[in-house]
Amino acid sequence: MAGRVRSVGSPLCEIGECPIWDEAEGRLYWTDITERKIWRYDPAGGKAEVFWSGDMQVGGLVVCEDGGLLLCTDKGVFKRSDDGGMLMLYDVGLEADERFNDAIADERGRVFAGTMKESCVEGRLFRFEKGAEPVCLLEGLRISNGMGFSVGGEYFYHTDSVPGVIRRYRFDIDSGEISDGRIWCDSIQGEECPDGMTVDSEDCVWVVCWGGSRVVRLDGEGAIIDEVKMPAVQVSSLTFGGAEYKTLYVTSAYKGAVDTESGKDSKGRFLGGLVYEIETDVVGRREYLAKL
């Protein structure tokens, strides 16, 4: 199902996160949250470069329909235009130790973005919609993380990493409301926890296992049906990209390493920090664009 795992050749990220494929550009973006950078990779040229650096921790990225990127940060939600301008769209009153952590757009262009604290308590999930005030959909989360929509749009998946659960909600595309949340997968436990996710064209959910050195593929019932072993212990998020959406891009993090040059911990294990690309025989899906 999956081919060789190879690095895209970028430097190590302390917390590489939220990879997003820009179809119009044919390039991959991702964030290094704690280093306050956004990276960009061009597969055609084989080059990774710093696209943006600043004073904010960017925990979520979404490509905008009218160009530019939506940045969900520790200081609010901003829109960066193609000409480099930065416009603050939403201030939801984040606390001093709270930041956004992962984001996704739905079919109508609304954006769902979750937050976390270093204490792993009182995380929240917000919905942003053009012309409307932000709505807090969920509270009391530990670490709001990966999200996805089923192929038919009937379900919304949401990960809460610390308890190690993925919940599936009924999703109303007209209102943007989620309801009837139930635990859909709680089998990724122990030394690993579920982190970022993406949904492929066959309606299967791909999840990275932070601490587990693997990516798993889940069927409609939340059962693991396949896995890809990864060189990094702390894989953090993933997305499909490439011309045919058969390339899986996976971010990782060296957070907690005793040697930040090598990304290794006290046991000599490579925690991560690289971004990987994997050719698969599965077709992914283009993520929806933000319309804010």
| Known catalytic residue at 195 | yes
- List all residues 6 or more positions away from 85 whose beta carbon is below 8 Å from its beta carbon: none
Distance CA 289, CA 62 (A): 7
Its sign, for the CA torsion 42, 47, 48, 50, is negative
The one-letter code for the residue type at 187 is S
- CA-CA distance, 12 to 14, in Å (whole number)? 7
Contact (CB, 8 A) for 61 and 18: yes
How many helical (H) and strand (E) elements, i.e. helices and strands, does the chain have?
0, 24
With beta carbons less than 8 A apart as the criterion, state whether 106 and 288 touch.
Answer: yes
Catalytic residue among 195, 200, 226, 265: 195
Q: What is the CA radius of gyration of the chain?
A: 17
- Determine contact, residues 137/156, Cβ cutoff 8 Å: no
Q: Which residues of 122-159 are buried (b: 16+ CB within 10 A; e: fewer)?
A: ebbbbbbbeeeebeebbeebbbbbbbbbeeeeebbbbb
Burial class from Cβ neighbours inside 10 Å (0-12, 13-18, 19+) for residue 23 reads: middle
Check: CB of residue 76 under 8 Å from CB of residue 90: yes
Q: How far is CA 8 from the centre of its chain?
A: 18
Active site residues: 195
